[in-house]
């Protein structure tokens, strides 16, 4: 039996990186105000690391989680795998030329957000409600200049739209 309600656990889990980053930053500030010398420099590093973790966690937490969809997503060694009972698709991340998010506006009873991973061989359409969907955001780390604000905007969208998150060799204009 847990002392924390499941809904509260879900909220804490969603914001865990922000909470951890804030704790590290507060610890760094405490050491920085109370010590000097080598410990002070360690405090500066802790504060910076905590701030970075907080900012990264904030971006991740703002992406609305989805669940209950078909399939499982795996990410390792430069490959993104989407597996279903009928088959699946493997996307080699170095071959990706564009990453998009499509929102359909179908609402809470149907999948309404899909990640499109475009390669020269074709497009992999992966629902954001599949198990392990947080790995889709993790995969963006391989793409310099990925627009996380587009992921956040798509996550909150309720109308049909296409969001370009990253495109190879092209400057994306906002």
Q: Which of 138, 92, 96 is nearest to 117 (CA)?
A: 96
The band of 155, judged by pLDDT with boundaries at 50, 70 and 90, is confident
Report the pLDDT value the prediction gives residue 110, as an integer from 0 to 100.
61
60-117 pLDDT, tens digit per residue, is: 777 766 666 788 999 998 899 999 888 889 999 999 999 999 998 766 556 778 999 9
> What is the per-residue burial (b if ≥16 Cβ within 10 Å, else e) of 50-85?
beebbeebeebbbbeebeebebebebeeeebbbbee
* Strand pairing report for 113-119 and 122-127: antiparallel
Indicate the pairing of strand 87-92 with strand 72-76: unpaired
pTM given for the model = 0.67
Beta strand spans in 18-121 (E): 72-76, 79-84, 87-92, 98-103, 113-119
State how far the Cα of 75 lies from the Cα of 29, in Å rounded to an integer: 36
């Amino acid at each position: 039996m847990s002392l924390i309600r499941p809904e509260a656990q879900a909220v804490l889990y969603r914001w865990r990186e922000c909470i951890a980053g804030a704790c590290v930053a507060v610890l760094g500030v405490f050491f920085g105000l109370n010590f000097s010398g080598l410990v002070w420099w360690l405090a500066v590093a802790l504060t910076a690391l905590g701030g970075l973790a907080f900012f990264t966690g904030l971006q991740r937490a703002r992406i609305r989680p989805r669940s209950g969809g078909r399939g499982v997503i795996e990410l390792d060694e430069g490959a993104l795998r989407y597996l279903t009972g009928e088959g699946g698709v493997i996307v080699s991340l170095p071959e990706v030329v564009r990453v998009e998010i499509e929102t359909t506006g179908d609402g809470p009873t149907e999948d309404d957000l899909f990640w499109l991973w475009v390669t020269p061989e074709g497009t992999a359409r992966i629902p954001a409600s599949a198990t392990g969907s947080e790995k889709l955001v993790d995969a963006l780390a391989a793409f310099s200049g990925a627009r996380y604000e587009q992921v956040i905007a798509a996550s909150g969208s309720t109308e049909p739209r296409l969001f370009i998150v990253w495109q190879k060799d092209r400057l994306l204009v906002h």
